[in-house]
Chains A and B, each alone.
Chain A
Amino acid sequence: MNPTQIRKKVVVQLARIKSKNGVYIFVSKSKDYLTVNKEIISYLTKNLKFCGVYISLNNSCKTMLEIFDKEKIDTKKLLFIESAGQEQKSKVKNCVSLQSNQSLTELSLSISTACKNDMIKFVFLDSVSTLLIYNNLETTERFVHYMVNKIRNMGFFVVLISIDEEKSNQLLPILSQFCDKIIQI
């Protein structure tokens, strides 16, 4: 799929969701993953005019800001939580750096704190697959289940990104029990 096709597919799928809360898992091919992320964030911030939390487990906050700026996404609408194992803490104002990708408790606490902001309407987790690199399947399931239920009860629109590969696909049957829709891109 080329970027235009991805954009079309993402927009169609998101437009079908009438609810402003709920949990949605987007499964994409690894090569399309970044484009899918950009398109979802673009739709949420531009079309729905939502402010949200972007949890970046793969790229630093600085890298994500550069990517989003190129797409003319208003990054002021985003609160970043970076956990890409950065050696130095980010100097970006709207960014929280975590100690490690392995500290799920710390990540969970940071998400909870970020969600206390009244402006926040969505939470975007990039990605569930990365959690599986550093944590085992059982711990990841427990974390996602706990976090998703917590955020859902707060009335947020939750987007989880998962890469279409063997390890992540093991998680999908469990995630499907407590998410509203799994969207294949």
Chain B
Amino acid sequence: MKKILSKKRIRTTLKAAQRQKRFAIKTKISPKLKKQRPPFQKRVSFAKFSKDTKKAQRAEEFVKTGIAGFDALLDQGIPKGTSVLVAGGTGTGKTIFCLQTLFNAAKNGEKCLYLSFEESEQRLKKHLDDFKWDWRDLEKKGLLKIVRKEPFSMTASIEAMLAKAKGELLIDINEVLEIIPKGFQPDLIAVDSITAISSAFGKKEEGYRIFIEQLFRYFETLTITSFFISETEQMPTIYSSSGIEEFLADGVVVLYAIKQGNIRENAIEVLKLRGAKHQKKIVAMQITDKGIEIYPEQEVFGKIGE
């Protein structure tokens, strides 16, 4: 027995010695091997190249607003084909935010449609002029279109359409309402505002809910990046009139005019954005002569929720 045990012991100690030797060789050789290896940068260059290519491909899948400071709140931008609710109280800059985004996108060759249910085309164009945004050339090129729709006249057609298509999952809204002008295929749409549509429906809340859901889906199937303006209280806790729009939308951007003594300070927040990383903080915003400017690093000192 003793002999067998000692043989076993010998075997294990031999194995351990061999392992140590192998380890010693490895550690001795490794500095030499390191020298023989190609320089670090050369080794990663392919990986870097493929990473850059992937990044560029991914960048094509996102929309940049071009608003100074806003895109810095987002990791890459707004995913193409998603819907964003732009919510805020009166005078917070919702219309300017959407006009500026669409104007910048149109300048980059994207087809944009501004659908107004409130202000007239002339007034909206005057807003663009006030900020010295030259829309005329973009309109000529068919890149920017501003269309005014009467919400009350639309409601009757919507109700008839919904009654006819009861039970259908997806209704071709455009066939009846011609929301998007014929022959115009936009990449970006702004709807100003869903609050105006909602009030045109009056007490027929169910009809409105079905319609708004269909509208979100309709833009989604056409892969249009859409912005829905929603009028809220100055310090909102819900971000739309029915409360369902913020669930339907992929993103919610909230604009604030925070009361500080006898003045108001503008601020902005990306509340949610499905499929994109974003900063989760309320930051300072100003409406300047050049449009909206956002300061991603600037804290707001007014009290939110006061």
Contacts and interface: CB of A to CB of B under 8 A. Distances in A.
B298 A102 contact: no
Contacts of B263: 99-100, 102-103
A103 B261 CA distance: 8
B261 A105 contact: no
Contacts of A109: 284, 286, 295, 298
Interface in B248-287: 260-263, 265, 267, 284, 286
Nearest to B258: A105
B236 interface: no
Nearest to A138: B303
Contacts of A104: 260, 301-302
Interface string A138-152: 010011001000000
Nearest to A146: B299
Given A104-B301, A105-B301, A143-B301, A135 B295 contact: no
A100 B299 CA distance: 18
Contacts of A134: 261
B284 A105 contact: yes
B303 A105 contact: no
B304 interface: no
Nearest to B301: A104
Contacts, number: 44
A108 interface: yes
A108 B302 CA distance: 12
Interface in B215-249: none
A143 B302 CA distance: 10
B300 A102 contact: no
Interface in A16-41: none
Contacts of B286: 106, 109
Contacts of A176: none
A105 B302 contact: yes
Contacts of A112: 298
**Interface majority SS on A: helix, strand, loop or mixed?**
helix
Nearest to A103: B263
Interface in A111-138: 112, 134-135
Contacts of B260: 102-105, 135
Contacts of B298: 105, 108-109, 112
A16 B211 CA distance: 73
Interface in A83-106: 99-100, 102-106
A135 B263 CA distance: 12
Nearest to A102: B261
A164 to B, nearest CB: 25
Contacts of B261: 100, 102, 134-135
A103 B265 contact: yes
Interface in B45-92: none
Contacts of A105: 260, 265, 267, 284, 298-302
A139 B303 contact: yes
Contacts of B262: 100, 102
Contacts of B302: 104-105
A103 B257 CA distance: 12
A109 to B, nearest CB: 6
A100 B260 CA distance: 10
A109 B295 CA distance: 8
Contacts of B299: 105, 108, 142, 146
A4 to B, nearest CB: 40
B223 to A, nearest CB: 38
Contacts of A135: 260-261, 301
23 contacts: A99-B263, A100-B262, A100-B263, A102-B260, A102-B262, A102-B263, A103-B263, A104-B260, A104-B301, A105-B265, A105-B267, A105-B300, A106-B265, A108-B298, A108-B299, A109-B284, A109-B286, A109-B295, A109-B298, A112-B298, A135-B260, A139-B301, A143-B301
Given A106-B265, A109-B295, A135-B261, 6 more contacts: A100-B262, A100-B263, A104-B301, A105-B265, A106-B286, A109-B286
Give 9 closest A-B pairs by Cβ, nearest first. Answer: A102-B261, A104-B301, A105-B265, A105-B284, A100-B263, A102-B260, A105-B301, A143-B301, A102-B263
